[in-house]
Amino acid sequence: MNIAQLDALTGAISPVEGYLRRLLQEVSGNRDGTVADYIPELAKANPEDFAIAVATVDGAIYCAGNTDLPFTIQSVSKPFMFGYALQEHGLETVLKKVGVEPTGDTFNSIILDDVNNRPFNPMVNAGAIAMSELLRGNTPADQAAEQMAFLSRFAGRSLEMDEAVYRSESETGHRNRAIANSMLQKGMIKGPAEDVLDLYFRQCSILVSTRDMAVMAATLAAHGRNPLTKERVISPGNVRDVLSVMATCGMYDYAGQWMFDVGLPAKSGVSGGIIAVLPGQLGIAIYSPRLDSVGNSERGIEVCKRFTRDFSLHAYVDRTDTRSVVRRMYRGDEVKSNRVRSRREVDVLLEEGHRIVVIEAQGPLFFGTVERLIRQAAEFAEGRQAIILDLRRVAYADRAARLLLRQFVGELAERGCKLSFVEVIGNPNLAGLQEAFSEEVAAGKCTFVTDIDHALEAEEDALLAKHGLRYGDEKLSLSELELFQGIDRDDLATLETAILTFEFEAGQTILRAGEEARLIFIVARGSVSIHLGDSSVESRRIAAVGPGQSFGEMALLDGGRRSANAVADTPVLAYGFAVEEVRRLAKDRPQILEAMLANIVRSLSGRLRAANDQITALE
Amino acid sequence: MNIAQLDALTGAISPVEGYLRRLLQEVSGNRDGTVADYIPELAKANPEDFAIAVATVDGAIYCAGNTDLPFTIQSVSKPFMFGYALQEHGLETVLKKVGVEPTGDTFNSIILDDVNNRPFNPMVNAGAIAMSELLRGNTPADQAAEQMAFLSRFAGRSLEMDEAVYRSESETGHRNRAIANSMLQKGMIKGPAEDVLDLYFRQCSILVSTRDMAVMAATLAAHGRNPLTKERVISPGNVRDVLSVMATCGMYDYAGQWMFDVGLPAKSGVSGGIIAVLPGQLGIAIYSPRLDSVGNSERGIEVCKRFTRDFSLHAYVDRTDTRSVVRRMYRGDEVKSNRVRSRREVDVLLEEGHRIVVIEAQGPLFFGTVERLIRQAAEFAEGRQAIILDLRRVAYADRAARLLLRQFVGELAERGCKLSFVEVIGNPNLAGLQEAFSEEVAAGKCTFVTDIDHALEAEEDALLAKHGLRYGDEKLSLSELELFQGIDRDDLATLETAILTFEFEAGQTILRAGEEARLIFIVARGSVSIHLGDSSVESRRIAAVGPGQSFGEMALLDGGRRSANAVADTPVLAYGFAVEEVRRLAKDRPQILEAMLANIVRSLSGRLRAANDQITALE
């Protein structure tokens, strides 16, 4: 079956899998190298077996060849068991047992770091044997089970051992016996040597598929969280340490050239497996048993070289993007809160709104992005009253981000500028961020607000207060209301006879979308929010209406139904006009209705213009 | 002067500089190590000198200590001159002269890679001497000038040489003479040995400041472009190779532990300088002449360890964010083009618009992000007619991105779905992208459209055509027009007497913002675009109006002025009503004006609702 037929069968739209299949076909021509024979069982491998698997950090898996074929893991287990030791015993204890320096010698070297009295690193046999002794368990059997369970968590399924290979390893492992006994003699392990060696032989004999290895590598790429089971297997800090040792010691004597050609932390094994990790993106695994003179899979090396070259995956091809951390910046005179303001308030905000700056951040916040964000913000900070930092689209904020932002909050406060964080509360990407600023919040230097609309409203209110405008100060007089502009005194007097008075409690729904529209309201006291959609669901506020402002005017259109919900934010006193009554009055005085309609057209037109401005600012 | 006073003086809001000053103060207590004395001149350095500088990829520089103090560059020059060799001669030639494998020996080892007949790597003296011979120039003096000019381009200013150190190096460089002569004997260099050595001694004696070194390191972090001068010094591919060798060979015998503790490609020199590179973010440089037993600056190592730990800068702390590549996705039934559609057209688009999908990508496009983007898009591709990919916010698209997207375009085409790229034309971040798809464009598999509005309109038109609705097919009848709904037959007949006929050429401005509004227009044939702002400037289209649709209705309000520009997209035939005439007719028949105002309220209300939907979709 050719690739096109396979594609047609699966029906998947996957350029990656298509690429891997072509790569497998092309590299199949490479028949260099020889199958390892130092353990009799390994020599039985079919030299033509060949599989490639790529697993992404979010669990997509791309396969080429027989990626389910099992083989023994051998040395590919070593970085994971180093991770086990770090996870269970901590770095300090582990570094007493093993170093992190590469050695110019072969993987089964008996030469040890006598200065520090430990094997050179955990990627050579001696180091791995030292790690085996750190397995938890009261009996060797418990320890073996612990080892199997731990590697299974990386693979995302229960692994098993190949008994034949295990016996072969155990019966012919003279070199490893020499290493273990030499370590015992120097006091690097406590022994009994046979128990430790048995654990090590068992570890090497665990069966994995190429697919399993890709998932194991992807677990390292995903900071220690298995992308299939979502289980955290080891901590991000321990992943960092594991990858560091893989980078310098993972490919035997080929470290420098590997870093040069491929540049990814990797580990190979004598059965013909290789894994490589691209942190944050993927794990790749190859199985092909023919080895080169250094002991790495011939085809495995070729696949890694070509895959990383074709897709620019080398670790030192920079993928960091610090430029787009600021998604956009705008001022309070460009975008306003949805609070409907009086003309005087609007005038003040047009004049003074530039003292409020909104910065929308996006992507991950780490040193390079936060440094840039703060630098851009600082340029704008002079003369501002408030900076609102919208973190809705932030993927995470690391240690550096917190450290720099806390410093920045302090420095802004000294300049009389307050920072408001928006969309942090309840944001799973930013868990713990608010707590990190508890001192600054207590000192009034920064604040956490649920959403941008309320943060803007609060800063607008603060700005208006500085100009002597307090919310609710507006007096109600029909002649001043926008809705009644252009209606003469006599007609207004007639209208006033139709006024009804209403009181609503905070939280009460005043209008409901879909209801028949019979009344037009004017707020006398309090605040009313207009929401689209189902009022039972948390929905976007499209307007907030205060004293002297009207809502529900669309009732003037024939057969109108409410198009939105109106909810009292506070206790509300409102005046209402029955539409029927207005129509009755307009029979004799058509200019009343005409003027009101024209006023609504003006108001809608203004709101449409503001909405268009907002769309422009948002794009 | 303490830090607070300094901050007050500079007035800068910089958490980074504040941090570096505190770090400098704290690490000053470390007086371990000794000043190098193998060259008499070096021994004269003041052991207390200490400076730290950080330069970002976009040219911000943070300093602590006397970062302008000059000292000789020594081995810190080696990675840059390796970069020179790659840039001038290409990888193949360079790898004949020097390897890339770390050596367990010291930096001035005389041991050479006899198997490959070359020094082990360009970070040891032997390798650097081999690189010196690759300098271009007809005379040794020309070659020396070439070397100085090249390093100056990294520093962003003209560097000079320290004559005293140069003489001292030359007079006492017996070990390097032994190395060069051994290489000459083995044929690794052509000689004369004294000429090559002289270039090497001159290279070591070039004076740099800590600030210079930070800029040089930042040039590597910025893919080879100097962040101050913006000059491209070496290619990104050569930067990758330089960083790879620094990672494995840059810190002498400390490579494994350095990778473990700091994890950044780095280089140190015997005068007490260290540089480290965080690709895509920054270069850091430290000067402090006391060296540890391996030959690295004691304080320099401590600063690097603390700086990278405090700000999580280790290379294997993952900063890749593949999650936010899709900024948002929406369908053609959620957001529509600004073309005003007839009711039938709107109904079809509401029903069938889901066949159009818009995907907004953001940030950098590399393997991990494009793989994710394509996977998400593929999930939505089934049954679609068109995918519009908006690349406005994309920082760059690398080789992998192009490769995968080309495959994807082909696979979509097989499924009858066309991909439109938007905001690529003229986008400096995406230069060359359109050319990469020339085959696919020629085959009709994808298309490049200037902006999202026109891409949406084109796909809507295609969708409407499938349903037998061709643009301009609508017939004009006053009674069917939205503006005249609810007006009875007699009143319509009266209105028709006031109709005037107008013809406009394509490109002609019909209405201009600010002009007095006297006429209401109805399009009979052709298309009219409504733009905000100055018509002479390319401004956002807020609406496009076609046959049977009206514009300029706001003229009905008293003393109204045009609020937007209307421009004929094509030759246009339009009917107009003088507002004065409508008012005159409405004197006797007020219901005409009332009905028209109510219709305008409905239309505005609908547009406001659409604008609010768009704001919700955009946020």
Q: Which of B19, B57, B62, B75 is catalytic?
A: B75
Give me B63's structure tokens.
């300093």
Does the pLDDT value for residue B204 go beyond 60? Answer: yes
CA distance B604 to chain A (A): 6
Query: Could you give the CA distance from residue A466 to residue B474 in angstroms, rounded to a whole number?
Result: 56
Does the beta carbon of A244 lie under 8 angstroms from any beta carbon of chain B?
yes
CB contact under 8 Å between B324 and A395, yes or no, is: yes
Give the model's pLDDT for residue B533: 63
Is B575 a residue whose pLDDT tops 70? yes
pLDDT in tens, B464-473: 999 888 766 5
Say what the pLDDT of residue A4 is: 40
Question: Looking at residue A198, what is its pLDDT?
Answer: 97
Q: How far is A107 from chain B (nearest CA, A)?
A: 16
- Chain B CB contacts of A56 below 8 Å: 322, 368, 371-372
More confident site: A398 or A252: A398
Residue of A137, A135, A138, A133 whose CA lies nearest to A119: A133
Q: From CA B495, how far away is CA B502, in angstroms rounded?
A: 17
The packing angle between helices A163-172 and A193-204, to 10°, is: 140
Nearest to B50 by CA among B329, B271, B315, B288: B288
Contact list, B604 vs chain A (CB under 8 Å): 601, 604-605, 608
- Judged against a pLDDT cut of 50, whether residue A276 lies above it is answered with yes
Chain A closest-CA separation from residue B50 CA (Å): 24
Catalytic residue among A62, A84, A166, A200: A200
- Is the CB of B56 less than 8 angstroms away from the CB of A257? no
Q: Given B54, B78, B348, B567, which residue is catalytic?
A: B78
Could B364 and A321 be called an inter-chain contact, meaning their C-beta atoms sit closer than 8 Å? yes
Q: CA B387 from chain center: how many Å?
A: 24
| A134 against A513, higher pLDDT | A134
Which residues from chain A sit within 8 angstroms of residue B615, using beta carbons? 611, 614-615, 618
User: Which pLDDT belongs to residue B5?
Assistant: 41
In this complex, the residue of B15, B263, B366 whose CB is nearest that of residue A408 is: B15
In this structure, what are the phi and psi dihedrals at residue A58, rounded to the nearest 5 degrees? -110, 20
CA angle A305, A309, A314 (to 5 degrees): 90
> What Cα–Cα distance (Å) separates residue B526 from each residue in A374, B504, B505, B521, B571?
51, 9, 10, 13, 6
Note whether A605 contacts B: Cβ–Cβ < 8 A.
yes
Q: CB distance from A14 to chain B under 8 Å?
A: yes
How far is the C-alpha of A356 from the C-alpha of A386, rounded, in Å? 5
Q: How far is A612 from chain B (nearest CA, A)?
A: 7
3-state secondary structure of B516: strand
Distance CA B564, CA A613 (A): 13
* Residue contact B320–A121, C-beta within 8 A: no
Instruction: Give the confidence band of A322 by pLDDT, cuts at 50, 70, 90.
Output: confident
Based on C-alpha coordinates, what's the Rg of chain B? 35
Burial class (CB in 10 A: 0-12, 13-18, 19+), A237: middle
Cis peptide leading into residue A227 (ω within 30°): no
For B261-302, what is each residue's pLDDT tens digit? Answer: 999 999 999 999 999 999 999 999 999 999 999 899 999 999
Handedness of CA B363, B364, B368, B372 (dihedral sign): positive
Sort out which chain A residues have CB atoms less than 8 A from B280's CB and list them: 318-322, 368
Cis peptide before B192 (omega within 30 of 0): yes
| CA trace torsion B405, B408, B414, B418 (10° rounding) | -50
The residue of A258, A260, A309 whose CB has the most chain B CBs within 10 angstroms, and thus the best one to mutate to test that interface, is A260
CB proximity A561 to B under 8 Å:
no
d(CA A496, CA B92): 92
* C-alpha distances in Å from residue B601, one per residue of A521, B587, B597, B604: 18, 21, 6, 5
Q: What is the mean pLDDT of chain B?
A: 88
A270 is catalytic: yes
Cβ of residue A320 closer than 8 Å to a chain B Cβ: yes
Interchain contact, A400 vs B313, CB within 8 Å: yes
What was the pLDDT predicted at A618? 62
pLDDT(A475) > 60: no
B375 chain-A contacts, CB cut-off 8 A:
14, 60
* A293 in contact with chain B, both atoms CB, cutoff 8 A: no
> Which residues of chain B make contact with A605, given a CB cutoff of 8 A?
554, 563, 604
Q: Residue B163's pLDDT is what? A: 96
Query: pLDDT value at position A539?
Result: 62
The pLDDT of A118-136, averaged and rounded, is 95
Tens digits of per-residue pLDDT, B381-424?
778 999 999 998 888 899 899 999 998 999 899 888 999 999 99
State the ipTM, two decimals: 0.80
Q: Is A321 on the interface with B (CB under 8 A)?
A: yes
> In the structure, what pLDDT confidence band is assigned to residue A9 with cuts at 50, 70 and 90?
very low
What average pLDDT does this structure show over B429-446? 94
Q: In what order do the strands lie in the sheet with B282-287?
A: B61-65, B51-56, B282-287, B273-278, B266-268
Q: Which residue of A has its CA nearest to B607?
A: A608
Distance from CA of A121 to the nearest CA of B (A): 9
Query: B55: which residues sit within 8 A by CB, 6+ positions away?
Result: B61, B62, B211, B214, B215, B217, B218, B227, B282, B283, B285
CB atoms B554 and A601 under 8 Å: yes
Share of chain A above pLDDT 90, in %: 53
Give the rounded distance of the alpha carbon of A566 from its chain centre: 36
Is residue A80 pLDDT above 90, yes or no? yes
CA distance A29 to chain B (A): 24
Chain A, residues 92-121, CB within 8 A of chain B, namely: 99-104, 121
Residue scoring higher pLDDT (A173 or B1)? A173
- The Cα of A312 is separated from the nearest Cα of chain B by a number of Å equal to 6
**Section A534-556 average pLDDT:** 72
A564: pLDDT strictly greater than 60:
yes
Mean pLDDT computed over B31-54: 93
Q: Which residues touch A347 (CB under 8 Å, ≥6 apart)? A: none
Query: For helices B15-27 and A399-414, what crossing angle results, to 10°?
Result: 110
A575: annotated active-site residue: no
What pLDDT sits at residue B18? Answer: 86
A587 touches chain B (CB under 8 A): no
Q: What one-letter code names the amino acid at B509?
A: T
CA distance A465 to A476: 20
CB A324 within 8 A of CB A301: no
How, if at all, do strands A446-449 and A418-422 pair? parallel
- What is chain A's percent helix, strand, coil content, to nearest 5? 45, 20, 35
Nearest to B601 among A321, A415, A557 (CB): A557
Q: Is B537 helix (H, G, I), strand (E, B) or coil?
A: coil
DSSP letter for each residue of A390-459: EEEEEEEE-HHHHHHHHHHHHHHHHTT-EEEEES-TT-GGGTTHHHHTHHHHHTTSEEEES-HHHHHHHH
Residue B57 near residue B281 (C-beta atoms within 8 A): yes
Whose CA is closest to A273, among A40, A78, A16, A29?
Answer: A78
Asked if A602's CB is within 8 angstroms of B597's CB, the reply is: no
Nearest CA in chain A to B413: A13
Tell me the percentage of chain B whose pLDDT exceeds 70: 93
* Mean pLDDT for chain A overall: 88
Chain B segment 38-77 residues within 8 A of A by beta carbon are: 56-58, 60
Nearest-CA distance A533 → chain B (Å):
11
Residue A107 CA to residue A112 CA, distance in Å, equals 12
**Contact call for B100 and A257, based on CB within 8 A:** yes
Best CA proximity match to B604, nearest among A595, A541, A600, A482: A600
* E-only strand ranges, A101-205: 160-161
- Angstrom distance (rounded) from CA B30 to CA B212: 24
DSSP H/E element including A176: helix A174-186
Chain A interface includes B173 (CB < 8 A): no
Instruction: List the structure tokens of B258.
Output: 């350095």
CB-nearest partner of A248 from B236, B256, B618 = B256
Burial (Cβ within 10 Å: 0-12, 13-18, ≥19) of residue B510: buried
Q: Does residue A38 or residue A155 have the better pLDDT?
A: A155
Q: Which residues contact A382 (CB under 8 A, 6 or more apart)?
A: A415
Partners of residue B563 in chain A, C-beta under 8 Å: 605, 609
Residue B53 tokens read as 């500088």
pLDDT band at B602 (very low <50, low <70, confident <90, very high): confident
Contact criterion met (CB < 8 Å) for B563 and A323: no
Whether A244 and B314 lie within 8 Å, measured CB to CB: yes
To test the contact with chain A by mutation, choose from B311, B380, B542, B594 the residue with the greatest count of A C-beta atoms within 10 A, namely B311
In the predicted structure, residue A377 carries a pLDDT above the cut 80: yes
pLDDT at B434: 94
Q: Are B199 and B189 in contact (CB under 8 A)?
A: no
Pick the residue from chain B with its C-alpha nearest to A398.
B312
Active-site residue, selected from the candidate residues B76, B196, B233, B270: B270
pLDDT over 60 (residue B217): yes
Q: Is A285 helix (H, G, I), strand (E, B) or coil?
A: strand
Question: Residues near B450 by Cβ (< 8 Å), separated by ≥ 6?
Answer: B422, B423, B425
What does the alpha-carbon distance between residue B126 and residue A523 come to, in Å, rounded to a whole number?
A: 86
Asked whether the beta carbons of residue B320 and residue A279 sit closer than 8 angstroms, the reply is: yes
Across A281-287, average pLDDT: 96
Q: Residue A1 above 60 pLDDT? A: no
Look at residue B486 in the predicted model and tell me its pLDDT: 84
Please tell me which residue of chain A has the smallest CA distance to B120: A256
Q: Specify whether A471 is catalytic.
A: no
Q: What's the rounded Cα separation, in Å, for the pair B413 and A568?
A: 53
| Cα–Cα distance, A262 to A302 (Å, whole number) | 10
Q: Do B598 and A597 touch (CB under 8 A)?
A: yes
Q: Does residue A69 surpass a pLDDT of 90?
A: yes
